[in-house]
Chain A
């Protein structure tokens, strides 16, 4: 069994969908730092995807520092990075802009958007941090 929830939808590149599902599982606490991550083989068998795709998923997650690979153990969920918060916040810029455009189009107020954001924020927060 895979340690994260995913339902693959047609149309979107598989790699993107799986990478997103893993990130979501990590931020929501479904997977914790130090947990072992499924191998290429398990990922492809369980999702019935091409091992090439499974390989790309793990490579992308390692590159984005969501996972770390160790020769003996395989892949592990990485500890969250301290790094440069400003840089990381900048990465979110485009996504936020889109949400704002959509919200304005729907005629929502900033408070309403904040409320909506907060609901999602809480939903994805690991149970221990509540």
Chain B
């Protein structure tokens, strides 16, 4: 079963189309990262999934239920932490957690205590007197302590210092190792989630550009550099999977988006007889930028 499934999910704000025809599938048990620049439609998507915002058209299923019909029963199985979350500022950390606990039959007090200690949160302090990072960590404890089946995080890392980010990541892994769950996390910064995610979806201008398993993405992308033999002319036509093709002197450089050991080298040998080929892995950040450029080129 898929934990999240949307069909042509769309949302307009007046004339602005914030999310357009989104078809998203998040399988059970994965960490799915929704990447995209600020204003791409990530938060709008998440708010529709959480039924905090109605869609203009299309549907979303979360844990098998239409998102517009999510009841407290389903919400008790979903953890949600958003960058822009409103917390009851007047409460202390202790009071806030005491307040949340009764809503969740599966609340794990031992886990709550462990996370409080790991995160070094001052229990008697009021939320309004906490730093941004501490508030996010408090919100995370309130979302993790009941072992949700689905955890939805909206830009959890933005504006956090590296130590807090690391605490945050460790907290996620800690709970992750305790049982099967699915994480759906949005971010505008790839490096935040490169180690954690197994699926990557990229959204731009409200449209999903692609969604794919991270390992398959990393396997099929390589930066290729060919040094042509001086006698071979530069090719007139090239495979469509060669992106960002550039030439300078005898050097040709591009990103192959359909790399396979041996095949790519053979293809290069056909196109550049006598040339030498090197293939190097491409960091996710570069894959992301390359694909963004490629899809823009196609749209134009």
Q: Which A residues are within 8 Å of any B CB, using their own CB?
A: 8-15, 40-41, 44-45, 47-53, 94, 105
Contact indicator A49/B176 (Cβ below 8 Å): no
- Residues of chain B within 8 A (CB-CB) of A47 are 195
- Residues of chain B within 8 A (CB-CB) of A12 are 218, 281
- Residues of chain A within 8 A (CB-CB) of B174 are 45
B31 at the interface (CB under 8 A from A): yes
Partner of B215, one of A13, A51, A94: A13
Contact indicator B173/A48 (Cβ below 8 Å): yes
Q: Which residue, of A48, A51, A53, A105, has the highest number of chain B Cβ atoms within 10 A?
A: A51
Contact indicator B176/A48 (Cβ below 8 Å): no
Contact indicator B173/A45 (Cβ below 8 Å): yes
Q: Which residue, of A11, A40, A44, has the highest number of chain B Cβ atoms within 10 A?
A: A11
Partner of B195, one of A11, A41, A48, A94: A48
A-B contact number at CB 8 A: 59
Q: Please, how many angstroms separate the alpha-carbon atoms of A53 and B176 in the complex? A: 12
Contact indicator B194/A10 (Cβ below 8 Å): yes
- Residues of chain A within 8 A (CB-CB) of B292 are none
Least distance between A108 CB and chain B CB atoms (Å): 14
> Can you show 12 pairs from A to B with CB atoms below 8 A apart?
A9-B281, A11-B218, A13-B218, A15-B215, A45-B173, A45-B174, A47-B195, A48-B169, A48-B170, A50-B196, A51-B176, A51-B177
Q: Please, how many angstroms separate the alpha-carbon atoms of A120 and B285 in the complex? A: 33
Contact indicator A10/B170 (Cβ below 8 Å): no
Residues B16-48 near A (CB distance < 8 A): 29-31
Q: Please, how many angstroms separate the alpha-carbon atoms of A11 and B194 in the complex? A: 9
B108 at the interface (CB under 8 A from A): no
- Can you list the 7 inter-chain pairs with the closest CB atoms, starting with the nearest? A11-B281, A10-B283, A11-B283, A41-B177, A13-B215, A12-B281, A13-B218
Q: Please, how many angstroms separate the alpha-carbon atoms of A41 and B197 in the complex? A: 16
- Residues of chain B within 8 A (CB-CB) of A53 are 198
CB-nearest residue of chain B to A44 = B173
Known A11-B281, A45-B174: A52·B276 in contact at CB below 8 Å: no
Contact indicator A13/B219 (Cβ below 8 Å): yes
- Residues of chain B within 8 A (CB-CB) of A94 are 261
